[in-house]
Amino acid sequence: MYAPDSILIVALAVVLGWLAVGLLGSLRPQSIIFRQLLFTLGALGGCILFIASIFALERPAENLVLPLGLPDLPFHLRLDALSAFFLSLLGAVSAGISIFAAGYFRDEEPGRFAFICMFYHFFLASMGLVMLADDAYLFMVAWETMALTSYFLVTLDHKLAHIRNAGFIYLLIAHLGAIAILLSFGVLHGGHGDYTFTALRNAALTPFWATVAFLLAFFGFGAKAGMLPLHVWLPEAHPAAPSPVSALMSGIMLKTAIYGMIRLIYDLIGNVRWEWGMVVLVIGTITTLFGVLYALMQHDLKRLLAYHSVENIGIILLGLGMSMVFIGFGHPAAGALGLIAALYHTFNHAVFKSLLFLGAGSILHATGLRNLNDMGGLIHKMPRTAFCFLIGALAISALPPLNGFVSEWLTFQTALQALILENGVVRSLVPLSAAALALAGALTAMCFVKVYGVAFLGQQHEPRHVPQGVFHGGDATHLERAGMAYLAACCFLLGLFPSTVLLALNRVAVSLNGEGLTPAALKSNWLWLVPTAPAQASYSPVILFLVIVVVVLLTFIFVRNFYHGRVRVSYPWACGFPERTTRMQDTADAFAQPIRHVFGPLYLMTRHLPAPDDAVPRYSVKIEDRHWYWLYLPVARLTGFISEKLGLLQQGQIRVYLLYSFITLLTLLVLVV
Amino acid sequence: MNQFTGISLQILQSVFVVLAAPLLIGWVNICRAWLQNRSAPSILLPYYTLAKLFHKDAVIASHASPLFRTTPYILFGCMWLAAGIVPSLATNLPFSPAADIIALVAVFALARMFSALAAFDTGTAFGGLGARREMLIGFLAEPAMLMTLYTAAFISGSTSLDTIVASQAHQTFSIHPSLAFAGVAFSMVLLAENGRIPVDNPATHLELTMIHEAMILEYSARHLALIEWAQAVKLFVYMIIGFALFIPWGIANASDPAGLPLAFVALVAKLVTAGLVLALIETLLAKFRLFIAPEFLSSAFLLAVLGMLTYFLNRT
């Protein structure tokens, strides 16, 4: 019924379609309808890709060789279960973002729009190619295209110095990562001259070289994912880009790094060792806690969301690490569960983080504000955006019945399998990392109470910053709302029907591990999610959701009918204090005060408190990332020092350079003779 | 047992918990009054208060959003759900597997997030203050709670409350030293999560100390009634979770309804004792300063971790 590689061709067609849409942008960028049409076409491509890759999940891997690229180095493409899963993520999430973008880029100047449209769609296409690539050469080409296109999108406002800086740091760390990945491929390939993934997969490595390849791949992809201590580009680059681009970067691009990690570690290197898993687990735990603790300190909404991306990458790594530990000790079923939890969280994070970034974009367009402390009471001005944002906030806080909870719950269930581990230390550390995850979940909830409470609820704060750009003051436009509503619906669907996702992800686990979940877990149906066995744990979000809804409705009807619904509207009581101004509300920084108190030593904090006789009392607190001081600045100084010394060689006089050549020749002659 | 009796038993159990919850509050208040040499109020006082509140007109702050008015219903819905799932009288009910113990704790977290948001909604200084403190207690309690649950879950090999109860109540009596650690840790978390002394004082309106009360300061009438009721159900449910994890004896199996009267008597006896102990704790201890709470809850976390490690050591 199908041609052997029909789905791969569909996926490739979508990628080419995105490239075409990107080029079409410069055709008539001044027409608003044309602009909306282009991005809607892009979204359509996403939908097609999603549907195609869902079919691909159930079918055996497809291969294709394209006679492109360098002579003797054709492009190899492959669509297996892992690629299919990540392509479905790319398709589903980018569809929502593109619909939003169709409305969002309405007011851009024509030239700028053509630029955005081109790089936006090239960016999408390169991410698709990364997931389809089946040789190291195409993979690196696509990977670099992805880094460059996103770099141009980040530095869209390159006339501002801080945005140029952000772009530079991003490009720098992206390339550090790329070098590590390249070296990892080099180690894997072992001098055979064949860079197809099939050859890399079959290469036999000694444990030492396998570990080297693992470390290079882990840190190389970790740099792109925003793993500690290579995370510093994330809080700079995400706020610099326009919101749909931030959503793409945080929601999908970080996930290509997770894809690369899984592809290399599970598939190409293979024979996963538990020591590797411990490295991933420990770094994942630290990343999780660091991300959320720094997110709590932020008052720039997009920066805050960027730190939450760091946290969520940590959660994904936690799941991956547990999975690798279990596989390393020879427990494939528990390993599959951890892998599924990590993959599930990958998808969930893509959905809710994109939703939140899009919401931040709508706020920026409505108010021109990015600082939470200037907002307040937005729920009255933009109720629909507020509703969608609330869904996203509940989802990221890992609350049932939404999607964030399911993947964290699966991670907790994975940690509970720790009893079967043979090593006592590892057995105790795995539950402790789960405790760190619980702490991070509760801190995330606190952070989103802060975001939602300060920005959307209460009353408008006194703005202390001038709004930037043009702003319309109202709710998001239709297309923007459609994009957000779609992603919010995804949060619900992924949260309410987790078994469907679980069974689909099991195929990925089987294709990588050879073995999947326990037979009892495969009996999960749409109502019951059973990760291991019914007696061990089960979860039914549909029942949870229905009971809460039914009780809420019944209580409402009951109270209204048996009592009354009389309401008097009045000033807030506030313990009877006569004077109240909007300045008495908590700001984002005030709300995080308990965190600064409890976790104080973890921050690099400079505080300024007023003296009793100050005429104009000023309070200020500045939180900085310690990594700049112990890691980045020393490295930067060292680089500066070395290049300064090397600069002495460069005298700018031809005779000196001729002298260098002469000395080199002499040395070579001496060596040869 | 057919499906119908099972479901009706489950609904009956949830209604029982929701209706009986204010009685527990009344009992704790009586015990406290006795211990403090006051004359005790009627045990039915919480019901009278609820009835009074339902009859009043609700006063709503002028710039509150619909979220403020929906939250009490959502809180009540969450607590009702929890009341239906925890095995108070019988295990093996048809819908009990809908949430294991971790999901149940997450349902409480959902309720907490909504009440903190509603506190912000009024735009007053107290709302934000209360929300901030409540979330502080929340994130401190969460890891301790998880470690406690993990200890119990490792022993019975399951996070489902039914299995945990079954592995301890319906089998040979055995003592796990790790459960003692976990039990103490759980009690500490219970005090913090329910806003009891020494972490919070449910009877205060002093702005320097209040946590939960500061959040619900702007609520009145039916909304306040629903929140107070939900709070009572939460305490009741937490106690039942504690019983299920640590002293599950006496509980009936749904396939054998003859055990229900005994289960009822056992539950009442446990609740009477637990209420007395709670009143005793609240009388003997003073409320901590807010920033002692992190120390209190981190010791709970350490105790729970010790419990887990003790279990690992015993096993090998």
DSSP string, A483-526: HHHHHHHHHHHHHH-HHHHHHHHHHHHHHHHS--S-TTGGG--S
A247 pLDDT exceeds 90? yes
**Which of A85-94, A158-167, A456-465, A596-605 is predicted most confidently?**
A85-94
Please indicate whether, in this complex, the C-beta atoms of B77 and A439 are within 8 angstroms of each other. Answer: no
Nearest residue, CB atoms, B143 vs list A416, A435, A586 = A435
Closest CA to A98 of A486, A402, A386, A404: A486
How large is the average pLDDT for residues B129-139? 90
Angstroms from B77 CA to nearest CA on chain A? 5
Please indicate if any CB of chain A lies within 8 Å of the CB of B108.
Answer: no
pLDDT, residue B316, reads 61
Contact A574 B147 (CB under 8 A): no
B202 within 8 A of B210, measured Cβ to Cβ: no
The string of pLDDT tens digits covering residues A365-414 is 888 888 888 888 889 889 999 999 999 999 999 998 899 999 999 999 99
Q: If DSSP codes are grouped into helix, strand and coil, which group holds residue A185?
A: helix
Inform me whether the C-beta atom of residue A399 falls under 8 Å from chain B C-beta atoms: yes
Instruction: Inspect the interface and report whether the beta carbons of B150 and A537 lie closer than 8 Å.
Output: no
Name the percent of chain A in helix, strand, coil, to the closest 5. 70, 5, 25
Q: pTM of this prediction?
A: 0.93
Q: Do B135 and A535 touch (CB under 8 A)?
A: no
pLDDT of B176 > 80? The answer is no
Mean pLDDT of A18-23: 91
User: In b/e form, how buried is each residue of B251-268, taking b as 16+ CB within 10 angstroms?
Assistant: bbbbeeeebbeebbebbe
A425 contact B CB<8A: no
Tell me what the mean pLDDT of segment B191-205 comes to. 83
B67-98: per-residue pLDDT in tens? 998 999 999 999 999 998 888 887 778 888 88
- Give B115's contacts in chain A (Cβ within 8 Å): none
Cβ contact A580–B308 (<8 Å): no
For residue A376, give the chain B residue with the closest CA. Answer: B123
B94 shares contact with chain A (CB less than 8 Å): no
pLDDT on residue A211: 92
Q: Does B102 contact A412 at a Cβ distance shorter than 8 Å?
A: yes
Range A226-246 average pLDDT? 89
pLDDT band at A109 (very low <50, low <70, confident <90, very high): confident
What's the CA gap between A457 and A448, in Å, rounded?
12
The closest alpha carbon to B18, from B101, B90, B82, belongs to: B82
Contacts of A63 (CB under 8 A, 6+ apart): A5, A8, A76, A77, A78, A134
Residue A104 one-letter amino acid: Y
pLDDT bracket for residue A576 (50, 70, 90): confident
Which residues, including other chains, have CB under 8 Å from residue A640's CB and lie 6 or more apart? none
Residue among B57, B143, B312 whose CB faces A439 most closely: B143
Give which of B24, B57, B70, B104 is closest to B220, Cα–Cα. B57
A559·B80 Cβ contact <8 A:
no
pLDDT the model gives residue A1: 42
Instruction: Kindly list the residues from chain A whose CB atom is less than 8 angstroms away from the CB atom of residue B170.
Output: none
pLDDT higher at B52 or B206: B52
Query: pLDDT above 90 covers what percent of chain A?
Result: 48
Residue B218 to residue A446, Cβ atoms within 8 A: no
Report, as an integer, the average pLDDT of A521-538: 81
Query: Over 90: is that where the pLDDT of A285 sits?
Result: yes
Q: With an 8 Å Cβ cutoff, is A544 touching chain B?
A: yes
Q: How far apart are CA A97 and CA A355, in angstroms?
A: 8
Q: How confident is the model at residue A609 (pLDDT cuts 50, 70, 90)?
A: confident
A578 pLDDT above the threshold of 80 = no
Q: Peptide bond before B198: cis, by omega within 30 degrees of 0? A: yes
Which residues of chain B neighbour A528 with C-beta distances below 8 Å? 97
Q: What is the ipTM of this complex?
A: 0.93
The answer, for A524 touching chain B at a CB cutoff of 8 Å, is no
Q: Which chain A residues touch B233 with a CB distance below 8 Å?
A: none
What is the C-alpha to C-alpha distance for residues B227 and B211, in angstroms, rounded to an integer? 14
- Closest-CA distance, B252 to chain A, in angstroms, reads 18
- Does A572 sit within 8 Å of B308, measured CB to CB? no
**B270 CA: distance to closest CA in chain A (Å):** 26
CB contact (8 A) between residue B80 and residue A547: yes
Q: What are phi and psi of A431, to 5 degrees?
A: -65, -30
Inter-chain CB proximity B106 and A409 less than 8 Å: yes
Would you tell me which residues 234-263 of chain B have a C-beta closer than 8 angstroms to some C-beta of chain A? Answer: none
Q: Is A445 on the interface with B (CB under 8 A)?
A: yes
B145/A552 Cβ within 8 A:
no
Residues B216 and B131: their CA atoms lie apart, in Å, by: 9
Q: Is the pLDDT of residue A566 over 90?
A: no
CB contact under 8 A, B153 and A580: no
Closest CA to B147 of B289, B237, B245, B43: B245
Helix axis angle, A161-189 to A207-225, nearest 10°: 160
A190–chain B Cβ distance below 8 A for any pair:
no
Q: What is the pLDDT of residues B3-49, one digit of tens each?
A: 778 888 888 888 999 999 999 999 999 999 999 899 889 999 999 99
Q: Which of A409, A528, A574 comes nearest B126 by C-beta?
A: A574
CB within 8 Å: A445 and B102: no
CB A97 within 8 A of CB A110: no
Q: What is the mean pLDDT of residues B133-159?
A: 89
At A371, phi and psi to the nearest 5? -85, 125
pLDDT reported for residue A553: 92
| Residue A607, beta-bridge partner list | A621
Residue of B nearest to A529 (CA): B98
B158/A453 touch (CB, cutoff 8 Å), yes or no: no
Q: Using CB atoms, which residue from B70, B73, B120 is nearest to A453?
A: B120
Of all residues in chain A, the one with the smallest CA distance to B79 is: A548
Which range among A18-32, A433-447, B198-212 shows the weakest confidence by mean pLDDT?
Answer: B198-212
Q: Confidence class of residue A347 from pLDDT cuts 50, 70 and 90?
A: very high
Exposed / middle / buried, residue A359 (Cβ in 10 Å: 0-12, 13-18, 19+): buried
Give the integer Cα–Cα distance in Å for A209 and A190: 9
pLDDT tens column, A324-340: 999 999 888 889 999 99
Interface check for B20 against chain A (CB to CB < 8 A): the answer is no
Question: Which residues in chain B have Cβ-Cβ distances shorter than 8 Å to A443?
Answer: 139
Q: Do B146 and A438 touch (CB under 8 A)?
A: yes
Alpha-carbon gap: B276 to the closest alpha carbon of chain A (Å):
31
Reply yes or no on whether the pLDDT at A360 is more than 60: yes
Across the interface, whether the CB atoms of B95 and A543 are under 8 A apart is answered yes
pLDDT greater than 80 at residue B224: yes
CB atoms within 10 A of CB A285: 24
What is the token pair recorded at A109?
A: 């100047």
Record: contact A453-B125, CB cut-off 8 A: no
Beta-bridge partner residues of A13: none
Query: How many beta-carbon pairs below 8 A join chains A and B?
Result: 261
Mean of per-residue pLDDT scores for chain A: 89
CA distance A561 to chain B (A): 12
CB nearest B113 (choices: A445, A563, A569): A445
Tell me the C-alpha distance between A466 and A471, whole Å.
12
CA neighbor of A289 nearest in space, from A418, A402, A455, A447: A447
Contact across the interface for A544 and B99, Cβ inside 8 Å:
yes
Q: Is B228 in CB contact (< 8 Å) with chain A?
A: no
Per residue in A76-89, pLDDT tens? 899 989 999 999 99
Q: Shortest Cα distance from B291 to chain A (angstroms)?
A: 8
Largest CA distance in chain B: 63
